[in-house]
Amino acid sequence: MEEIIAEDFNDEKFKYSESNWLEFKESINSCPKVKIIETVCAFLNTGGGYIVIGINDKEKLVGIKSKPKDIDLFKLSIDNHISSNSIIYQNDEVILEKYLLITDIVNKNKLKFILIKVTPQDNHNYKLMNGSIIHRLNASNRKIKSTKLMTESSFLSSIEINQQNIINKYNKLVQELNSEIKDLKIKEQNYKKKITLLNNSIESYSETFLKFANVYFPFPKQFSMD
């Protein structure tokens, strides 16, 4: 990998061509973040490299036409993707060292460029968090392998889903229990009404029976010894 410096941007045409260590993008709109992350991973597995934004396919230095605010947001987005451990070691360990350097370049003609330098660590292989292993071959990225890997976010998401399922089952049981309790209360009220009606019927029957007994079976009058 050659060393690219600020003076390399002062000519009309760039001194290097796209290769296994160099990739050009004409504008920030022509390079989706996911493609940049793939290229970064490929460079990490192929000795390092540079991504230069502001150079077209004919290697002409056209500069970035976007507004400064949009350029800053683009660089922040790339940095956030890298900071979120979107690339890890192939043994699934998180990379702790910094391997990406983003530099602003302004040449003598006041044209703006973004220079992204990728520097791998020795004796390490890299892959995307989704399991894809990417290498650089000539001026293209080659996906060597893709394995299913549960990311930290998806793992946490699965835990949240399981927790929500447990909560939903608990709420359903509570609702069913409350419904049964409500039915029992209604039955209790109905039984109380029946018992009240039965007691009233018994009292009424007792009063009627006593009246009937007094009429047809009067108690004998008390005799006096006088």
pTM for this prediction: 0.62
CB 51 within 8 A of CB 94: no
Q: How confident is the model at residue 10 (pLDDT cuts 50, 70, 90)?
A: very high
Say whether pLDDT at 29 is over 90.
no
- Three-state DSSP at 206 gives helix
- Higher pLDDT pick, 145 / 131: 131
How far apart are alpha carbons 108 and 116 in whole angstroms? Answer: 20
What homologous superfamily is domain 6-147 in, according to CATH? Answer: Schlafen, AAA domain (3.30.950.30)
How far is CA 105 from its chain centroid?
Answer: 35
In the predicted structure, residue 157 carries a pLDDT above the cut 60: no
Alpha-carbon distance of 114 to 106, in angstroms, equals: 9
Q: Are 43 and 136 in contact (CB under 8 A)?
A: yes
DSSP assignment letter at 75: H
Asked whether the beta carbons of 11 and 104 are under 8 A apart, the reply is no
Look at residue 137 and give its three-state secondary structure.
Answer: strand
pLDDT at residue 149, rounded to an integer: 46
Domain ranges of the chain: 6-147, 150-216
pLDDT, one tens digit per residue, over 192-224 is 888 888 777 777 766 666 666 666 655 555 544
pLDDT-derived band at 182, boundaries 50, 70, 90: confident
- Kindly report, residue by residue over 93-136, the tens digit of the pLDDT: 888 888 999 999 999 999 999 999 999 988 899 999 888 999 99
Mean pLDDT of the chain: 83
